[in-house]
Every structure is written in structure tokens, then in C-alpha cells.
Amino acid sequence: MLRRALLAASASPWLRQLVTTAPAARAIVDSYVAGETAQDAVRVTRELRAAGLLVTLDYLGEDTTDQAQAAAVTQEYVQLIGKLAAEGLSHRGAAEVSVKPTAVGLFLGADIAAANIGRICAAAAQAGTTVTLDAEEYAAIEPTQQIAAKLRAEHPDLGCVVQACLRRTEDDCRALAAHGVRVRLCKGAYSEPDSVAFASHRDVDLSYGRCLRVLMNGPGYPMLATHDPRLIQITGSLALLTGRRPDSFEYQMLYGIRPAEQRRLANTGAQMRVYVPYGGDWYAYLVRRLAERPGNLALFLRSLRSKQ
């Protein structure tokens, strides 16, 4: 129930205004968000790379309904990739980008989003790195996968994200694994009806395990996004059982969550990528992170009260 309430809060304009104007919010945000500018994102990327960690960068924002804004977000990504390349951070995908299709115009039309994503992919290819299309609300899943399938003809390393909370995802994993695609598997951070999503944490975990096995047994490149110690252990065991080399899959975690574990995995020789968001539109992202880990809510609320 708490998770559903938090996910509902992520879409509340009133709560957005309350939280984003609270003086104490910035200190909490800084724990999970790199900053507001591309320079901030590059600075954090530089620090993480120095620690032996891979990086994927997300310019925060979604559900764009203005074509000029979609073009501006696209240009932000192109410029960010250029900055990464200029500092030698993008070589061989060491730092890549994650793109929400709705931020670059998906709900304005699939052709608009595809053209904008194609621009970002072209910039990434020139810089020697990759692009991953983030998963969003259920209405965006199918058109996102269709765009990805179309663009892979020119950009075969274009990755996508699937959410274990959705009932369709195991079948999606089978299809994507068969084509050798880069696939990030996460639990999911959007509120969806029971008709399309699993309601209980247990069912989501079981779905994650099934999807994990499909991806690890396939010819693609699995990207396992989880902070769950048990699922991390299962991933390591599956890698041994399937004979996967350490460079044939990767772990992923969010910036600011379990940083010691991130470093531990990297120190074992595993590929460990940190998902780093930046930008001013951080409210929905932060609240969904609290929904994924409701224990963080008490810390957040205490911090707001103590600093007001």
C-alpha cells in the first residue's frame, strides 16, 4: 500500500510543489541526483570511472508534449555525449546514456521520437558508446520496443529496459534474448493495474528470477538492475552455470544506493554500471526511488522536518 501511495504521489502537482520548494529537499536530492547540468553529470561520471565503475546517464524529464522541448532534450543528450567523448569517458561504452522515449516526443508521435532517438544514437556511435531506451508507463512499452527494433537495423547495440513487474516481460525477454539484444532488467517503478502487472513483491521477485534466467541463458547482453543481495547472488551463480564471461553481462545500480556494494562488485572484476540522473526535473524520479525502497521515506521526512 505504501508503494502504491508513493507512486501516486510521484504524479501529484501539489506534492511536487511542496517538496521541490522545501529548503531541506536539496540535501536529499544530492544523494541521488548528480546535479542540474551536463557539467555536473560529467563531473560525477569522472569520479565513478576513477573508482572502476561504468556509468549510464539519464537527463531527467518525461511525458513531453511540446515538439520544441523534445528537440531540446535531444540536443541536451547530443551535447552531453560530446562532453563525455571530449574527456575520454565514452570509450567502449564506459559511459553511455539512458533515454526516456516520452522525453523526446513519443506521445507526440512515434516518428518524432524515432528521429530524435536516431540522432542520439548517431552521436553515441561517433563517440564510441551506446544508448539504452528506458522503460516507462505501460502505454509507452509497445511503441518503445517497436522504435528500438526499427533503429537496431542501423544501431544494433541500442539497448532497452524491461520491467519484471509486468506480466508481459517474460515473453519480451525471450524475444529479445533470441535476437542478442542488450537488455536491462529492472523490477519496475510505475503504478500499473493488476491486469498488466504483478501486485505483490513476491510475485515481482519471482518474475525477475524467471526473466533473469532467460536473459542469462540467451546470446544477448544482460544488464541486471537490482540492489537485492539475493538476486545479485543468483546472478553470479547463473553466470558460473552458464559459463558467461564477466564482460558478457553487467550489474546495474542507482547512483547513491549501496555504493559500497557497487565498489565491491567492481573490485571482483564484474561489470558494474551506475545509473546517474541529472537535471532539474528530479521530483518524479526521487519519489519513485522512495517507492522502490520505502525505508528511505522515513529518512527523507525526518530530514525535511529537521531543516525547515
E strand segments, 77-228:
95-99, 131-133, 159-163, 182-186, 221-225
Q: Which of 134, 205, 273, 288 is catalytic?
A: 134
Is 247 noted as a catalytic residue in this protein? no
CB 93 within 8 A of CB 85: no
E strand segments, the chain:
54-59, 95-99, 131-133, 159-163, 182-186, 221-225, 250-254, 272-278
CB 226 within 8 A of CB 204: no
CB 45 within 8 A of CB 89: yes
E strand segments, 119-181:
131-133, 159-163
CA angle 199, 202, 208 (to 5 degrees): 95
> For 293, which DSSP code?
S
Q: Which of 184, 273, 288, 289 is catalytic?
A: 184
Is 182 noted as a catalytic residue in this protein? no
CB 158 within 8 A of CB 151: yes
Catalytic positions? 134, 184
